[in-house]
Amino acid sequence: MAQTTGAAKVSAQPIVRQMQLADIPAVYTIETASFATPWTIDIFEREITENTFASYFVIENEGVIAGYCGMWLVIDEAQITNIAILPSYRGKKLGEKLFAHVMEQAILAGAYRLSLEVRVSNLPAQHLYRKFGLVPGGIRKNYYTDNQEDAIVMWVNL
């Protein structure tokens, strides 16, 4: 919640919390603005209600859901399924705060390794992941169905 003091606007710190079903319309807006082949609303609903391996989080900034991140935890390995920030909120370190929270949740859940796939062309995301110690571990050829772009598999031991 934003407060105003005179002419200066004081913003509350962004918060990261568990995604709820009611968040899905906002998350879907972020998804469609971020990915060429977005997940459907049904997929998000199933991930939250049926997938026992899945945990999803949103980051709120001044009451707006500005981003989300999904993670699967299978035994002791965490896999980031997707992460995205609304285009108008990028460059404000919200992705960094969100990713840090999700990594912390993976550690608390007992994960020993975290991995993800990222487009070869997505240098800003690769830079973010490197900040958290992720390193390239391989290439998945033609991974992305929209343009057959390769994915870099990145991982880190937690």
**Would you name the residues annotated as active-site residues?**
117, 129
- Give the separation between CA 98 and CA 71, rounded to whole angstroms: 12
- Give the separation between CA 123 and CA 127, rounded to whole angstroms: 6
Between helices 94-108 and 123-131, what is the axis angle to 10°?
50
- Give the separation between CA 67 and CA 49, rounded to whole angstroms: 20
Residue with tokens 């949103």: 58
